[in-house]
Every structure is written in structure tokens, then in C-alpha cells.
Amino acid sequence: MIACLRRVAYSLFSPLLSVAFPRLCGGCGRRLSSAEKGICVGCRLRLEPFEHSNRLLRQRFSSFISPIDSVYAGYLFTPDSVARAIVHSLKYGHNRAAGIALGRLVACKEGLRKEDFDWLVPIPIHPQKLAERGYNQAYAIALGVHEVTGIPIAKDALRRRQYGTSQTEKHRQERIRAMKDAFTAGPHFPQEGLRLLLVDDVLTTGATLSEAAVVLAKAFPKRLSVLVAAVDM
């Protein structure tokens, strides 16, 4: 009965909501068609795939004591890239749907399968930032991966200790220092011997993912991998 009423209410108010709050593409900002979700067809085609995940693993994580086994990387993040526009829309434009769509695209691009992983672990943000933004951008991307693969999301595996400031303008050494001890185990920390896939929006220095991986390594995972939607070049 309640579900039926909800459907009726949605059918009545959905057209009004779409006029008041049009769904916009995270890449170009234009209004999406009813068939498009988060990112328009044109922007999907303009995303530039990142194709060097193994070399990236060696370069970005080599200076950390990092237990990461493999990296799945989505798209190139350069100053004029579509991936940058989508990530900005996700983080600063309240466009959660763009992040979910990006997660779906990366999962398809990398051919992820449920049988290869036990949990997706989104990089957490500080509770104060969560309250300000209304959602965790890494969780939105993980949700897209989950929709495609069915891999469950470990929502509270990690906790963020620091509120922090924007990492965008910091240099490499500042970023590394800023992320030291940034994470701690959450209430649903994984059991030992699982195959975990850490999820984040953008890979820059690797400091954030490395710090989170060090905490997750305390669960002695069978395999610890990383998925990033975009790679800052």
C-alpha cells in the first residue's frame, strides 16, 4: 500500500521536480534526457581512458610502505578533461548521480566481477565534511561499482580522523605529511583473509590510498586492491 502511494506521488510530482531541479550532466552541465543518468552520452564518449595501471602502481606507490597489490584506474584527469569536470561536479556541485555514473563506467571499463572481491571500501571523509556535502564522493563511486558488479560496500570499515583542508593546492610532501595517521579502523572493520577493493575519486600522490591501505592491512587481507575513478596527471 505504502509503495503504491509512493509510486502515485512520484508520478504526480516527478514532472514538477524535474522542472524545479533539472538533472544535469556532471561533465558539461547540460540537461540530461530521461534515458541518461549522471553523465550525458557525449561526455561519456569524451572521457579519456587511463591505460597504464601497472606502471602507475609502481610509480605512485613506490615511495610508500604500501600493501597494495593492484590498481584499477578509470580516466585521465587533466585541467580541461571531462573527468575533472565530473569530479568537480560530484565534489562541489552536489551532483551525486555523476559520481554513481562514473563508478558504473569504471567498473565496466576494468571488467570488475563480483567473484573477484569480497568488499568495496570507499575512502571515508570526516563526519563534518559529510554533513557539509551531504554524501561521501568515494561512496557514490563505490555505489556505481556495486550497481554494475554486485560487490557489497563496507560502509564503516574505516573512519577519518582529520577534517583537513583541500588537498588540491598542496605539494607532494605536504600531502604526504597531511595524510599521516588520517584513518583508523571503523566499527565494521573487515575480518581477516578477505579480498578488499579500496575506492577513491582521484589518484594524485597516492598518499591518501596508501594511508588507508596501511590501516586495512591490519585485517591481513588476502588481496588489497585500489580503484580510482580518475588519475591526476
Q: Which of residues 42-61 bind Zn ion (CB under 5 A)?
A: 43
For the beta carbon of residue 227, count every other beta carbon within 10 angstroms. Answer: 29
C-beta closer to Zn ion: residue 82 or 228: 82
Rounded to a whole number of angstroms, the minimum distance from the CB of residue 23 to Zn ion is 11
C-beta closer to Zn ion: residue 43 or 179: 43
82 binding Zn ion? (CB under 5 A): no
Whether residue 90 contacts residue 128, with contact meaning beta carbons closer than 8 Å, is answered with no
C-beta closer to Zn ion: residue 43 or 121: 43
185 binding Zn ion? (CB under 5 A): no
Please tell me the number of Cα atoms within 13 Å of 204 on its side-chain side. 15
What is the total count of residues that contact Zn ion (CB under 5 A)? 5
Query: Which among 210, 184, 182, 180 is positioned nearest to 198, based on CA atoms?
Result: 210
C-beta closer to Zn ion: residue 26 or 221: 26
- Tell me the per-residue interface mask from 2 to 41 with Zn ion, x by CB under 5 A, - otherwise: -----------------------x-xx-----------x-
Taking the C-alpha atoms of residue 209 and residue 57, their distance in angstroms, rounded to an integer, is 12
Rounded to a whole number of angstroms, the minimum distance from the CB of residue 86 to Zn ion is 9
Whether residue 199 contacts residue 45, with contact meaning beta carbons closer than 8 Å, is answered with no
C-beta closer to Zn ion: residue 5 or 45: 45
Taking the C-alpha atoms of residue 23 and residue 108, their distance in angstroms, rounded to an integer, is 23
DSSP character at residue 167? S
Instruction: Note the residues at the interface with Zn ion (CB under 5 A).
Output: 25, 27-28, 40, 43
